Amino acid sequence: MSGAQGSSRGAQRLGEVVDRNRTITFTFNGKKYKGLEGDTIISALTANGVKIVSRSWKYHRRRGVMSGNYHDPNCHFQVNDEPNVRGAHRRLEEGMVVSTQNVSPSLKFDIGAVNQKLSRFLTAGFYYKTFIKPERLWPTYEKVLQRFAGGGKVAATGHHVPADKRYAHPDVLVAGGGPSGMSAALSAADAGSNVLLVEEEYELGGFLRWGTADELAVAQSLREKVAAHPKITTLTNAVVAGRYDQNWVSVIERGLPVVMESLIKVRTATLVAAPGLIERPYVFEGNDLPGVMLSTAVLRLVNLYAVKPGERAVVFTGNDSGIAAAEALRGIGVDVVQVVDARHGGGLVRATSSRGVLSGVELSDGSKVLCDLLVVAAGWTAPTTLLNLSGNHPVFDEAGARFVPGPDLDDTVFATGGLVGDGTIDEILAHGAAVGRQASERATNGSVTTVAPAFSPDPHLPLFFGTTKGIVDFSEDVSSKDLLTAAHEGYNSVELLKRYTTATMGPAQGKLETINTVAVLASANGESIEETGTTVWRPPYVPITLGALAGRSYEPVRYSPMQAWHESHGGINIVAGQWMRPEHYGDAAKEVSTVRSGVGIIDVTPLGKFELKGTDVTKLLNLVYVNKWSKLEVGAVRYGVMCGEDGVIFDDGVTGHLSEDRYFMSTTSSGAAGVYAHLESWLQTGFPEWDVTITNVTSAYASINIAGPQSRELLSKLVSDVDLSNEAFPYMNLRTGTIAGVPGCHMWRIGFTGELSFEIHVPAGFGAYVWETLMEHGADFGITPFGLEAQRIMRLEKGHFIVGQDTDGVTQGFSAGIDWLIKLDKDDFIGKPELQWQHDSGAGFRLVGIHPNDPKQVPTEASQIVIDGIIQGRITSSRFSPTLNRSICLGLVVPALAVAGTVVPIRLPNGTIIQGTVMEHHASYDHEGAKLRG
């Protein structure tokens, strides 16, 4: 009976948090309801007499409010487009659309409930024992099982609104704003520490909030002191979600507009865990019926929201919380028909139902009592999560009937309040204050002198399960019978049992059910709870949205100073590592032919550029490059290849000699950061005595390659202080001068395209100006801008390899056809031994030029060369060459095939085999380099 039974809101309560003057309208499963401001979804539904709020995961049993806190597994709802909203925590908002998850077709009549009838066959892990044959049917069974999947729906479209993260650096972080937490915060702050106090609920006070008039007064007084203290920052509706290495702590701030919640990353000197206690359920038949509630759920509903959770109540208790709940119920006009106190020998056998909700209880004295509310107060769980995450192992405390922190606590982490023991309010406050001082001492001077007082003992009964079987894990629908069966089958350690039955694996993550799971297992094994041990709590303490974790993306995108020009002139972008650069301006083939016949310019700013200065630069160059650098004249440049110590090529580029002790090194675009770190590594860790300073000038210069037979004529128009003639400025040389009035530009006679070309490096601020000036003056020559694709075609025509495309993670130097470059007669260089051995053995693939026999066929890059079913090589680069009017390739092949004239079979992606011929040179265009030198 999920329908409303009229309002069950009682008379004003002393600690009431709802505003009776403000009504909020919302819908639940399509039906309109009214609540009050300050209500949670659950308090409003309860006030409206709604008892059945969800269906369980596996058996689709009717479920009502159980623990009444954030962790209540029965109170998950879809709210608008947000799945799995905690209805016992989330406050009502005007117009909220709330619905039940995991029901079909409706909460009232759920077809999945047929599983209840089958439950004796569907014991935990039943699916491991069936659907085994025939194998082909498993996907069908799987679809059926997937329909059990609980949880809400996620929208298929919509954007992530970035929630900005922030940082905090308090001296003391107090997790939990109950009496012990507030007391700890106040004393730490009084001792001079900056304190961040984080409370999960909407206001400070902890369990005092639903307590007696005296307790409310204590809470109010503490709240006022905290609010007035200048050294305490308080966050409510926020939660300490995790503690990581060296007190790196995640705090989630909830309830924010637009972004829902956001992440605060806290590095705190000390951490005080004061999360209080979580009331645990009791295992007996019918313990999951709507109408069976924990005492704290009742206390919250009655004392915070003035809601009557039933009309006729039985209270089963092993502690004073049950007594308090009974009093609260009487206070709001609920008929408490019997209080069954386990401390005085009372016992509960089972709860019985009528029409799916609680109708009565059967007690151990044989009596049966009719009721629509059963309040259970069996004991507590200490949520030791933050301590476990600090390396602490919980131990079982017999007297407290719960796991408590072990002795091996990190010396920057402290615990107080319910985690540590039970006590009077005064004892709790005193303990909190002492721990706050300790945390402050540790945070400031390092040594802890304060001694925390002990709590007076308050023994608890070991009330975990009764004489009948019931639900242990409400999130996962795992019963004590499931656990016993699994344990007897051999899944008899807490870790195996957890994995086999999925107990403690659901959304509550063990906060409600771990101790009962362990207790049932211990009974199955005939061991004590201590011997059985417990599982480790894993972060986060409460679930965190992906949105809050993601925050805003700070992955940089880099652009050259000419990017705006490219985009306004038809440049089509390509992502190249961090850089965005033009791939082409509409027609790459046309760009190629223009460069080959006239002139073109390409933006090569992303090239890595370093200035090296010092008397030992040549030593460094000799170390990191495979070739020799001692005799590089001032004004000359040289090509070099870098290998790792394993002889594998990792970068290439050109380095020029600017003046006596100054060099300018260029690297590949993607390799720049790696090369910089590599050079620094050798300088700092290997040869700190060398005089070399490296400055990364990649972004300090805009780089342009002017390529084509008319490039000299074009540049001549803009340069007057450097003689650009072939005699004065030959190939593989550099000059520094003024371009278009911009002084300090480096000009290099090199190029990747194979044409006469000048690579110019212009101070970045003038990049766009020089580019536009080149375009303007090049108009007479029919200049074209060209992009990465045209450059790739031309470099392939010229036979230049690209590191990382024509080489891979195991391509050693002699595999790339740079035998002429590698100088094994140098004393030493990085990777020399491996290259020597490769040279001697001839091992590894060889990079070769390949021309498909059919000039129109362009084999897709990565097409394999397969002979007798064995891969003997692959195409690493291929393009149709507009210059040669044929397809051209580079490929890595086994040495036996690396002989000019060899015909190799190339397997295209569609399986067709075409023939290609291994060429004498990598270059298909001007392999002598006459044009470059022209």
Partner 1 sequence: MSRNKPVKYSALGLFKRGLSGKEWPRVWRDVDLKKTYDVVIIGAGVHGLSTAYYLAKNHGVKNVAVVDRAYVGGGGSGRNTAILRSNYLTPEGVRFYDRSVDLYRHLAADLNFNVMFAPRGHLTLAHNDGALRTMRWRAEVNKVQGIDSEVIGPEEIKKLVPYMDVSDDTRYPILGALYHPPGGIIRHDAVNWGYARAADAMGVEIHQKTEVLGINTAGGKVTGVRTNRGDVSAPIVINCTAGWATLIADMAGVKLPIITHPLQAAVTEPVQMFLSSVVVSGSLHVYVSQTDRGELVFGASTDPYAAYSMRSSLEFTEELAGHVLELMPSISKMRVLRQWSGLCDITPDFSPIMGFTEVEGFLVDVGWGTYGFKAGPASGEAMAQLAATNKTPEIISAFDLARFEEGRLASERGAAAVGH
Partner 2 sequence: MILIPCPNCGPRNSSEFTYEGENKERPNAATVTKAQWRNYLYLKNNPLGWTTETWYHSSGCKKFLVAERHTMTNEIRSTKALGQQGGAS
Per-residue contact string for residues 57-86; x = within reach of partner 1 by CB under 8 A: ------------------------xxxx--
Contact criterion met (CB below 8 Å) for 887 and 881? yes
Contact residue for partner 1 among 106, 130, 456, 699 (CB under 8 A)? 130
Measured CA to CA, the distance from residue 61 to residue 48 in angstroms comes to: 21
Q: How far is the CB of 626 from partner 2 (least distance, A)?
A: 13
Choices 43-51, 122-130, 623-631, 692-700; region in contact with partner 1 by CB under 8 A: 122-130
Q: How far is the CB of 656 from partner 2 (least distance, A)?
A: 21
Contact residue for partner 2 among 387, 483, 607, 692 (CB under 8 A)? 692
Choices 241-249, 397-405, 629-637, 726-734; region in contact with partner 2 by CB under 8 A: 241-249
Which amino acid type is present at position 8? S
Residue whose token pair is 């107080």: 416
Does residue 840 touch partner 1 according to CB under 8 A? no
Does residue 132 touch partner 1 according to CB under 8 A? yes
Does residue 691 touch partner 1 according to CB under 8 A? no
Contact residue for partner 1 among 100, 250, 321, 815 (CB under 8 A)? 250
b/e string for 267-302 if b means 16 or more Cβ within 10 A?
ebbbbbbbbbbbbbbbbbbbbbbbbbbbbbbbbbbb
Nearer Cβ to partner 1, position 435 or 643?
A: 643
Contact residue for partner 2 among 587, 646, 713, 808 (CB under 8 A)? 646
Measured CA to CA, the distance from residue 570 to residue 587 in angstroms comes to: 10
Backbone angles phi, psi at 836, to 5 degrees: -60, -45
Positions in 796-835 near partner 1 (CB under 8 A) = 804-805, 808-810, 834
**CA 153, 154, 158, 160 torsion-angle sign:** positive
Per-residue contact string for residues 197-236; x = within reach of partner 2 by CB under 8 A: ----------------------------------------
Does residue 496 touch partner 1 according to CB under 8 A? yes
Could you tell me where the DSSP H helices lie in 703-810?
711-716, 767-778, 788-798
Does residue 192 touch partner 1 according to CB under 8 A? no
Measured CA to CA, the distance from residue 742 to residue 765 in angstroms comes to: 10
- Identify which of 45, 39, 42 has the alpha carbon closest to the alpha carbon of residue 3: 45
Positions in 894-933 near partner 1 (CB under 8 A) = 907, 909, 911
The two structure tokens encoding residue 582: 């033009």
How long a stretch of residues is the chain?
A: 934
Per-residue contact string for residues 592-631; x = within reach of partner 2 by CB under 8 A: ----------------------xxx---------------
Positions in 352-391 near partner 2 (CB under 8 A) = 391
DSSP string, 288-309: TSTTEEEHHHHHHHHHHH-B--
Does residue 568 touch partner 2 according to CB under 8 A? no
Write the CB contacts of 175 (distance below 8 Å, at least 6 apart in sequence). 181, 198, 240, 271, 272, 273, 274, 275, 386
Measured CA to CA, the distance from residue 664 to residue 654 in angstroms comes to: 8
Nearer Cβ to partner 1, position 577 or 709?
A: 577
Which regions of 585-668 does DSSP assign to beta strands (E)? 600-603, 608-613, 637-643, 649-659, 662-667
Q: Report the 3 state secondary structure along 66-132.
A: CCCCCCCCCCEEEECCEEEEECCCCECCCCCEEEECCCCECCCCEHHHHHHHCCCCCCCCHHHCCCC
Contact criterion met (CB below 8 Å) for 529 and 397? no
**Residue 681 binding: pick among partner 1, partner 2, none (C-beta 5-8 Å cut-off by kind):** partner 2
Q: End-to-end distance of the chain based on CA atoms, in angstroms?
A: 93
Nearer Cβ to partner 2, position 94 or 680?
A: 680
Contact residue for partner 2 among 683, 719, 796, 858 (CB under 8 A)? 683
Backbone angles phi, psi at 103, to 5 degrees: -125, 150
Does residue 689 touch partner 2 according to CB under 8 A? yes
Does residue 138 touch partner 1 according to CB under 8 A? yes
Does residue 587 touch partner 2 according to CB under 8 A? no
Positions in 148-187 near partner 1 (CB under 8 A) = 148-161
The CA-atom distances, in angstroms, between 493 and each of 483, 497, 707 are 11, 6, 73
**Residue 686 binding: pick among partner 1, partner 2, none (C-beta 5-8 Å cut-off by kind):** partner 2
Contact residue for partner 2 among 105, 143, 146, 245 (CB under 8 A)? 245
Does residue 833 touch partner 2 according to CB under 8 A? yes
Nearer Cβ to partner 2, position 619 or 777?
A: 619
Does residue 456 touch partner 2 according to CB under 8 A? no
Contacts with partner 2 by CB under 8 A lie at 244-246, 248, 267, 391, 614-616, 645-646, 677, 680-681, 683-686, 688-693, 827-828, 832-834, 837
